[in-house]
Amino acid sequence: MKIKKVKKTKATLTNIAPKVISGGFYDLSDEEIEELRDTVGVKYPEKNKYGEKLFDANGNIPLTKEEKDSILPLLEQKFEEVLDILRISRNDPNSTHTPARIARMFVNELFAGRYQKPPITTVFPNRKNIDELIISKGIEVMSVCSHHWQTISGKCAIGYIPGKHILGLSKLSRIVEWFSRRGQIQEELGEQIADYIEDLIHPRALGVVIKAKHYCMISRGVKGSETDSLMITSVMRGLILEDFNLRNEFLKLIEN
């Protein structure tokens, strides 16, 4: 007897979307909906309707000023629609120019790092063969979480033992800023910063520690209190990962 092959239908956006829209998922929490979508293996388009390549929220494709400016009216129009749907009257003088304001804020500030070229980083030769930790701490982290588009605000500390090159210290904050001004999750932000520095100067040891408040937790009142909640992530590479004493020294030096 021949076994009949069951034809598998590929999960696509079109065959899952109606379920979502018809309200079948409405009882579930955001997280549960996300999980469900993940398990179905939905494939989303790689390009937008203008034929432009889409990329991760914390990715980067540099745009010219003209290209960035051309995004603004399109975005403004969409945010007008958002206000409409939320039934916010633009006769309210505080809301009249809100769509344009939000559009500029995302393109030029909150997501600026998605569209900017990498910062110019000055690399110097390690002439004195420095073999100790070089640390910069208190670097401002102002970012937006990819999941809810709410503020992530905190500080970053970076420490490294140089190889052949050292970095201009002020440049570290530029690097952190460039990666922060995107839709982020803190875990990946730390990794991106570490990867970038590693490629740039190939240090013998590298540590990136971020301590930040996540307003998607605080403002939604899920778990966090504004004063006490803090997320801490650390990335350790090279000698600092292998050498327990070195890691302790680094962690001690970056304490407040």
Binding site for Zn ion (CB under 5 A): 145, 147-148, 216
Cβ proximity to Zn ion: between 37 and 147 the closer is 147
Cβ proximity to Zn ion: between 213 and 247 the closer is 213
Report which residue's Cβ sits closest to Zn ion: 216
- For residue 215, the minimal CB distance to Zn ion (Å) is 8
Cβ proximity to Zn ion: between 90 and 148 the closer is 148
Cβ proximity to Zn ion: between 57 and 63 the closer is 57
Distance of alpha carbon 178 from alpha carbon 197, whole angstroms:
13
- For residue 116, the minimal CB distance to Zn ion (Å) is 23
- For residue 185, the minimal CB distance to Zn ion (Å) is 8
- For residue 148, the minimal CB distance to Zn ion (Å) is 4
CA 184 to chain centre: 2
Cβ proximity to Zn ion: between 98 and 151 the closer is 151
- For residue 155, the minimal CB distance to Zn ion (Å) is 19
